[in-house]
Amino acid sequence: TSLQAACAEKCLAKPDCRSFDWGARGSVAGECWLSTANRASAGDAYTAWGSYDYYEVDASAGAAGGRERTPSHATAVPCGPL
């Protein structure tokens, strides 16, 4: 959706954003949570949130300044309403 794309753009615009969770189901639909962690840095603390779709920033990608979102959880903070 366009709101999901806006969430991704918010993450890509923040140099320290490494992942985001998009509320995809139920009462959390449309929520956007940005995180400075990804699966690798979270290690054993990683847990999946069943109502959210998880995306990581791919720093090895070439297009948008070396950052793009890839579907793939970590401690996250809300990015506010879109």
Tens digit of each residue's pLDDT (9 = 90 or more) over 27-41: 999 999 999 999 889
| Rounded CA separation 28/22 (Å) | 9
> What φ, ψ does residue 7 adopt, rounded to 5°?
-65, -45
Determine the average pLDDT of the residues in 52-61: 82
Full-model pTM: 0.72
Secondary element (H or E) of residue 7 = helix 2-13
Determine the average pLDDT of the residues in 54-60: 83
Helical H segments across 14-72, by residue range? 39-42
Determine the average pLDDT of the residues in 57-77: 53
